[in-house]
Amino acid sequence: MTPTKTAPQNDLPEVYIDDILMTLKYFTDEHEVHLKIIDPQVCMNCESKPCVQFCPVGAYRTQDGGTVQIAFQSCVECGTCRVLCPNSNISWKLPRGGYGVAYKFG
């Protein structure tokens, strides 16, 4: 079946998340991680692992054995994982001053 085109809802330009992510700069703090899993065992028992789906940059990855690893270097500090982990199993804080993501357009 041929996909149907829908009429544009407004005059806003199309936005591609990958293009936006390319404009970001990251200043990774390798000495003080700003988010981490509190108890890996809790993740092993978390069947749906929603963090893998809801993180906009895919920082959460499932590992063999059912634990979860966070690529904190790519975090854009949206705070979603801070509030949506159903088990409150993520320790989250803003990076220290001078570290973290820098948004080109504010």
Q: Catalog residues that contact ligand SF4 under the rule CB under 6 A.
A: 35, 37, 42-43, 46, 49-51, 55-57, 59, 68, 75-81, 85-87, 89-90
Q: Of 5, 6, 21, whose CA–CA distance to 74 is shortest?
A: 21
Residue 56 or 96 having the CB closest to ligand SF4: 56
Q: Distance between CA 37 and CA 90 in Å, rounded?
A: 5
> Judging by beta carbons within 10 Å of its beta carbon (0-12, 13-18, 19+), is residue 81 exposed, middle or buried?
buried
CB of 30 to ligand SF4, least distance (A): 16
CB of 96 to ligand SF4, least distance (A): 16
Residue 23 or 56 having the CB closest to ligand SF4: 56
CB of 75 to ligand SF4, least distance (A): 3
Reduce the DSSP state of residue 44 to 3 states and report it: helix
